[in-house]
Amino acid sequence: MENPLQITTILLLAFLAGLVATILEAFSLKGFDNIAVPLGTAFTLWFFINTFNHSFSFPWPTVLLGLLLSTAIALLAYQRRSLSLSGVMGAILVGTLIFGFGGLLWGLTLIAFFIYGSVLSKFREDQKNKVAADKFDKGSRRDFGQALANGGFGAVIAVLYYYYPSELWLFAAFIGTMATVNADTWATEIGVLSKKPPRLITTGKVVTPGTSGGVTPLGTTAVLLGGLVIGLTVWLFTGVAHVLEQGTITVISHLWSNSWILLAGIVGGLSGSMADSYLGATVQAIYINAETGLETEKKTTRSGRRNHFHRGWPFMTNDLVNFISSIFGALIAAAFVYPFM
């Protein structure tokens, strides 16, 4: 007879099943969540129980530290109007998992992404609102869905990496997913300021600023920089960690041997953002503003009038596009840099 599950194992299983259920509930097709949630949670429980044969370990110290840090940062962001109330809950969930299972380096990467995005969202905010405020589904205050879209897959990778620390490609995937969401944020916040009109990534047709799937040279440059910055951030963090653990003598060779991190950031950011633009141009739900007659991601106008569905798949929200793109960027980055690791 197998050993009974320990209380920490039961708590961990419940936590992981709850996370999967939350993600599936948020991103499933309308009505499909009734199937996706129970099947997804059942598969999660089966997978982890059978994979680890009931021998779970739970990183209580780092999880609790992650919970405290994530809560403090989320509340500060709420006070500074960077997060909505639901965004606070999403940030705490994602932050706790990434800090708790990934460790300090992973948590600092998440913080860096959040800081970069928050600063850029305030950059020329009035000008961006005049150009494309009615285009975007949501404003500068991130909500629960955005928190999951940006950090949800990174949190899943963090949990997997904790139990499979020898699988370094998971670390590359984490860099790729964070590079994707950072590059997409930079492209949105900077690209909308382009003096040249955007063109659809699929047809090259000129569209108005803020149109889903539209790209500009400025936005593409922002994508490359956004991915590189995440890669550079992680790369430098690994160097600092190496200095603290082993001193400065071998830090140069350490950084050189880990230069693939920079490549993971660039490749992940570029591939994920291109996937985001392609999905935005083809399947993302787009509406016609009932008051202006222009395309928008919003279902309703500012005054509450319902916009008319125009193209794409009705369930394919911008958050879901971002989430799918973050997975794509993670996998492409991991596959591309694997030979160099």
d(CA 49, CA 44): 8
Three-state DSSP at 308 gives strand
Three-state DSSP at 278 gives helix
Q: pTM for this structure?
A: 0.86
170-192 pLDDT, tens digit per residue, is 999 999 999 999 999 999 889 88
Question: Residues 56-77: what's their mean pLDDT?
Answer: 87
pLDDT band for position 167 (cuts 50, 70, 90): very high
Dihedral over Cα of 328, 333, 338, 341: its sign:
negative
214-255 pLDDT, tens digit per residue, is 999 999 999 999 999 999 999 999 999 999 999 988 999 999
Q: State the chain's mean pLDDT as an integer.
A: 88
Residue 132 has pLDDT above 70, yes or no: no
Which of 65-103 are b and which e, b meaning 16 or more Cβ less than 10 Å from the residue's Cβ? bbbebbeebbeebbeeebbbeebbbbbbbbbbbbbbbbb
270-302 pLDDT, tens digit per residue, is 999 999 999 999 999 999 989 888 888 888 888
- Closest to 102 in 3D by CA, of 182, 7, 170, 20: 170
Structural tokens at position 1: 């007879």
Residue 55 has pLDDT above 80, yes or no: no
Residues 6+ apart with CB under 8 A from 1: none
Structural tokens at position 15: 């936590």
Question: Residues 112-122: what's their mean pLDDT?
Answer: 89
Do residues 112 and 233 make contact, with C-beta atoms less than 8 angstroms apart? yes
Give residue 1's pLDDT: 41
**Comparing 151 with 81, which gets the higher pLDDT?**
151
Give residue 235's pLDDT: 98
Residue 41 has pLDDT above 60, yes or no: yes
Question: Residues 41-63: what's their mean pLDDT?
Answer: 72
Give residue 291's pLDDT: 87
User: Side-chain half-sphere of 334: how many Cα atoms within 13 Å?
Assistant: 17
